[in-house]
Amino acid sequence: MFKFSLQTVLDVRERLEKIKYKEFSGLLFERQRMDGEIQARNAQISSAAEKLDLVRRNSITAAPLQLYTQFRQRLQSEIGLIAEQLREEEQALEEKRKELVEARRAHRALEILKEKERARYAQALARQERAIMDEIAANNYLHQK
C-alpha cells in the first residue's frame, strides 16, 4: 500500500493554498465592487447632465446649473476617494496574488514529490512482483523435471 511520507505537509500546503485563494478572491470582489461604484457615480453624473439640459430649457434661473455643478463636484470627489481606495486595494491585491502564486508553487512542489515517490513505489512493487513470478516459474520448472 502506497503511503506518501509527506502527506501531512501536502495537506497543510493545500489548505494554505485554499486560504490564500479565498483571501485573493475576496480582495478581487472588493475591487470589482469599487469599480462598480465608480461606474455608478459616472452614470449619475451623465444622467444629471441630461436632466439639466431638460431643466435649462424650461428655467431661466441659474439655480439648476449651480445644483448640477455642486452635485457633479460631490460625485467627482467621491470618485476620487474611491479611486484612491482602489489604488490601495490594487496594491493589496498584487501582494495577495504573489502570496497565492507562492502557495501554489509550494503545493505543486510537494505534489511532484508525491508523484515521483508513487512512481518509485510502483517500480519497486513491479520488481518485487517480477522476482516472485521468476521464483514461481523456477519452482514450476524444477517440479516438472
Contacts of 89 (CB under 8 A, 6+ apart): 27, 30, 31, 34
What is the tens place of the pLDDT at every residue in 35-71? Answer: 999 999 999 998 888 888 777 777 767 777 888 889 9
Query: Other C-beta atoms within 10 Å of 4: how many?
Result: 17
- At 103, the pLDDT band (50, 70, 90 cuts) reads very high
* Domain extent for 40: 7-107
Give the total number of structural domains in the chain: 1
Separate counts of helices (H) and strands (E) for the chain: 2, 0
This model's pTM is above 0.85? no
Q: Is residue 98 part of a domain?
A: yes
What is the average per-residue pLDDT within 5-17? 95
Report whether pLDDT(104) > 90.
yes
Quick check: helix, strand or coil at residue 62? coil
Rg, Å, the chain Cα set: 34
Confidence at residue 145, expressed as pLDDT on a 0 to 100 scale:
67
Q: Tell me whether residue 2 is in a domain.
A: no
Is residue 16 a part of any domain in this protein? yes
Q: Flag whether 145 is in a domain.
A: no
How far is 113 from 102, CA to CA, in rounded Å? 17
Under 8 Å between Cβ of 56 and 65: yes
122 within a domain of the structure (yes/no): no
Q: Are 70 and 48 in contact (CB under 8 A)?
A: no
Burial class (CB in 10 A: 0-12, 13-18, 19+), 121: middle
In a domain, 118, yes or no: no
The answer to whether position 71 is within a domain reads yes
